[in-house]
Chains A and B, each alone.
Chain A
Amino acid sequence: MRILKKTLLGAIATMAAITTPALSADSVKIGMITTLSGGGSALGRDIRDGFKLAVDMRGGMLGEKKVDLIISDDARKVGNAKQIANRMLKRDKVDIMTGIVWSNLALAVVPTVTKAGKFYLSPNAGPSKLAGKGCHKNYFNVAWQNDNLHEAAGQYVNDKAHRNVYIMAPNYPAGKDALAGFKRFYKGKIAGEVYTKLGQVDYAAELANLRATKPDAVYFFLPGGMGINFVKQYAQAGLTKTTPLFGPAFSFDEGILKAVGDTAIGVFNTSQWNKDIKNAANVDFVANFKKTYGRFPSLYASQGFDTALLIDSAIRAVDGDMSKQDDFRKALKAAKFQSVRGPFKFGPNHHPIQDIYVREVYKDGDNITNRIVGKVFTNHGDVYAADCKM
């Protein structure tokens, strides 16, 4: 029992310790809520590492101002994320928040942040609600609107003259949005439209049905482990040879490709970024990331990195005076930074207008990775901007 008492005392001591945040007038406080434990933590860690890299490369500063970065793990639970947002806003009094990976968490947290008069910069999730009716002057998305990559895939599949495509996504809002985005640009016939169980592991039944409908091509959106399972099983069913597979970048990132292995070779996927994009910022980023963390950066890491660069540019514009809220917002909107993806600007709803590429998975020596094979869209925005009234 003594041990239990000690543990409790220790806990109380810690509570006391974390209740006294270090205050320094000369720093900018950034709160990062992201997923660091449990399923999906690879994405959160990439975003964090990308962001931190940008800060570290500037000697712990953004815009000549010391950065006080507070990172907290949401364990992919909405309740936790809300709680942390409350803590960061009320206790730590952060100036800017960022970090959330998942759309459903972002939908719950972003309004809390903007209501409190603070800025939220999304390094990943871009749900349609926040791009359209629910847009806000203090909310910026540095990655993409959720539909973007799916739209590009629809366009590309259309360009490749596929006329009978089988499409698949999990049975939840992001899945339905994904297929709607695909169909917005794809003009041919739909061989089948299938919604699978969230978290499903075995796709043998779906694959058998799919084969029976004899489509020209298959488009799927299955994030995380679901995608790994699906791509492996697709190849094992011998479908890769007969029916080309298309997907968004999420299922073909560096980390995931390691888990999928050879089975993904030859698959086409759409992305706004790749590590072979030739611009000074990107070359520098890829090299530094590899050196610091010993692995190649992913799409998510690039988005975290860009988020930090955007903050850097905006702080610089107001000479580090965060009280000039309107100027700071204008500076964010101007997006005067060198994005690792190349040309980048914000649309009227503070979502990116950017180029979207198609990548092919190939084997580079021992390494399975992506290369850009073409550009699908130039300066592509999103359809929700019209509904946004700021």
Chain B
Amino acid sequence: MDKFNRKSIVLLVGLALLLALPPITIAMEEAYFISLFSRIMIYALAAVSLDLILGYAGMASLGHGAFLGVGAYAVGILAFHVTEETAIPFLPGGWAGSINAVISWGSAIVVSSLFALVIGALSLRTSGVYFIMITLAFAQMLFFFFVSLTTYGGEDGINLDQRSQIPGLDLADDASFYYVCLALLLAFVYICYRIVNSRFGMVMRGCKQNETRMRALGYSTYRYKLICFVIAGAGAGLAGALIANQSEFVGPGLMHWTRSGEVMIMVILGGMGTIFGPIFGAVALLLMEEVLAAYTEHWMIILGPVLIFVVLFARRGIYGFLTGDGGRDG
């Protein structure tokens, strides 16, 4: 019971802080933190989606940035054609894009799911380290593809003139945008929570522990893992759509392997195989970058050892440390 309480307290305090962030920071005349935390919430969403496959199904993908990038480019390309007033060349029907959030974010989710389906179907033939590397390979292919895709800016990327539009909401307002990000993060966390604790989730966790046995029990583990991979890809795609809006910019940098590595670090730092842990990981890593970079331009020489230290001595991640147990959510 004690453990349960401590965990609920950590989560409730965390949630209360996140909800109260805009009014508090505005009162302190530090409204800048709202945009910083929007970015953190979006990366948290990406990290939670990665944790779904990494922490629960044992699929270590080092190519998660690919879906982040694909989602961002979906939003970026649709907005690009609205600005240029031209039809999208690779789609039939002469559609001239959209800046409606429902359409463009929806497209981001659909497109990134499709990419995840194809990449996952091929990558899941391998496992372990080979899986890490084949996902990395696909992400790098997409990276180089977009770098040389001059139609959409290549390495320069696409600048968005404005954020996506939701009727009745002004996303250009940082606080509104922050709440939208937070709401989507919580919704995705809820979905993950339900998945992890469903029969489907049990099969996935079974796959992580002993895939051969799950197969012997008659489960088509390949199909289960693929579905899981697609859900994670969709989550990352949504995060990509949001990051495009947050920075009003889309570029291939999102797909570079170091970006995938950063998302993976957030997961491990926060606590792998926990639903909420990656959120703590995202907050910690991005805040640490912000704070250390203010100290010294050689901030990486501090961040590096901190990461090693966390791996060696805080094995259950920040979330496990705060809650006092492994932090298992279900």
**Partner-contacting stretch, out of B117-125, B127-135, B175-183, B287-295:** B287-295
> Is B294 touching A18 in the complex (CB atoms < 8 A)?
yes
Cβ of A208 under 8 Å from chain B = no
Q: How far is the CA of A82 from the CA of B294 in the complex (A)?
A: 15
Closest residue of A by beta carbon distance from B29: A91
> Is A198 touching B253 in the complex (CB atoms < 8 A)?
no
Residues of A close to B251: CB separation below 8 A: 78, 104, 108
Known interface pairs A37-B299, A87-B32, A87-B36. Does A172 touch B154 (Cβ–Cβ under 8 Å)? yes
Cβ of B147 under 8 Å from chain A = yes
Q: How far is the CA of A198 from the CA of B155 in the complex (A)?
A: 10
> Is B39 touching A11 in the complex (CB atoms < 8 A)?
no
Instruction: Count B-side interface residues using an 8 Å CB cutoff.
Output: 40
> Is A72 touching B293 in the complex (CB atoms < 8 A)?
yes
Residues of A close to B295: CB separation below 8 A: 14
Known interface pairs A172-B148, A172-B154. Does A86 touch B32 (Cβ–Cβ under 8 Å)? yes
Contact of A18 among B155, B291, B299, B313 (CB under 8 A): B291
The 9 closest A-B pairs by CB, nearest first: A36-B297, A91-B32, A172-B155, A90-B32, A108-B249, A173-B154, A82-B247, A104-B156, A171-B148
Interface of B is mostly: helix
Cβ of B298 under 8 Å from chain A = yes
Q: In chain B, residues 22-50, which have Cβ atoms closer than 8 Å to a Cβ of chain A?
A: 28, 30-32, 35-36, 39
> B311 to nearest A CB, angstroms?
12
> B316 to nearest A CB, angstroms?
11
Closest residue of A by beta carbon distance from B157: A104
Q: How far is the CA of A37 from the CA of B300 in the complex (A)?
A: 8
Q: In chain B, residues 159-176, which have Cβ atoms closer than 8 Å to a Cβ of chain A?
A: 159
> Is A83 touching B156 in the complex (CB atoms < 8 A)?
no
- Interface readout for A22-56 with B: 1 if CB under 8 Å, 0 if not? 00000000000000111001000000000000000
> Is A38 touching B32 in the complex (CB atoms < 8 A)?
no
Residues of B at under 8 Å CB distance from A?
A: 28, 30-32, 35-36, 39, 144, 147-148, 150, 153-157, 159, 243, 247-249, 251, 253, 287-291, 293-295, 297-300, 306, 310, 313-314, 321
Interface of A is mostly: helix
Q: How far is the CA of A1 from the CA of B248 in the complex (A)?
A: 40
Residues of B close to A197: CB separation below 8 A: 144
Residues of A close to B249: CB separation below 8 A: 78, 82, 108
Q: How far is the CA of A87 from the CA of B306 in the complex (A)?
A: 25
Q: In chain A, residues 291-343, which have Cβ atoms closer than 8 Å to a Cβ of chain B?
A: none
> Is A173 touching B153 in the complex (CB atoms < 8 A)?
yes
Instruction: Count A-side interface residues using an 8 Å CB cutoff.
Output: 41
Q: How far is the CA of A37 from the CA of B301 in the complex (A)?
A: 10
Contact of A104 among B155, B293, B300 (CB under 8 A): B155
Closest residue of A by beta carbon distance from B249: A108
Q: In chain A, residues 87-119, which have Cβ atoms closer than 8 Å to a Cβ of chain B?
A: 87, 90-91, 103-104, 107-108, 111-112
Residues of B close to A171: CB separation below 8 A: 147-148
Known: A90-B32, A108-B248; 4 extra A-B contacts, CB below 8 A, are A78-B157, A111-B248, A112-B248, A176-B154
Q: Can you list 20 A-B pairs, Cβ within 8 angstroms, ordered by A? A: A11-B291, A14-B294, A14-B295, A73-B299, A78-B247, A79-B243, A83-B247, A83-B290, A87-B32, A90-B31, A90-B32, A90-B35, A91-B31, A108-B159, A108-B248, A108-B249, A172-B155, A173-B153, A197-B144, A198-B147
Q: How far is the CA of A108 from the CA of B252 in the complex (A)?
A: 13
> Is A1 touching B287 in the complex (CB atoms < 8 A)?
no
Q: How far is the CA of A127 from the CA of B290 in the complex (A)?
A: 28
Residues of A close to B287: CB separation below 8 A: 11, 15
Interface-central residue, B31, B248, B291, B298, by most chain A CB under 10 Å: B291
Closest residue of B by beta carbon distance from A45: B297
Residues of B close to A87: CB separation below 8 A: 32, 36
Residues of A close to B243: CB separation below 8 A: 79
Closest residue of B by beta carbon distance from A134: B159
Closest residue of B by beta carbon distance from A110: B159
Q: How far is the CA of A111 from the CA of B156 in the complex (A)?
A: 14
Q: How far is the CA of A103 from the CA of B293 in the complex (A)?
A: 22
Closest residue of A by beta carbon distance from B154: A173
Q: How far is the CA of A111 from the CA of B249 in the complex (A)?
A: 11
Residues of A close to B313: CB separation below 8 A: 1, 4
Interface-central residue, B32, B39, B321, by most chain A CB under 10 Å: B32
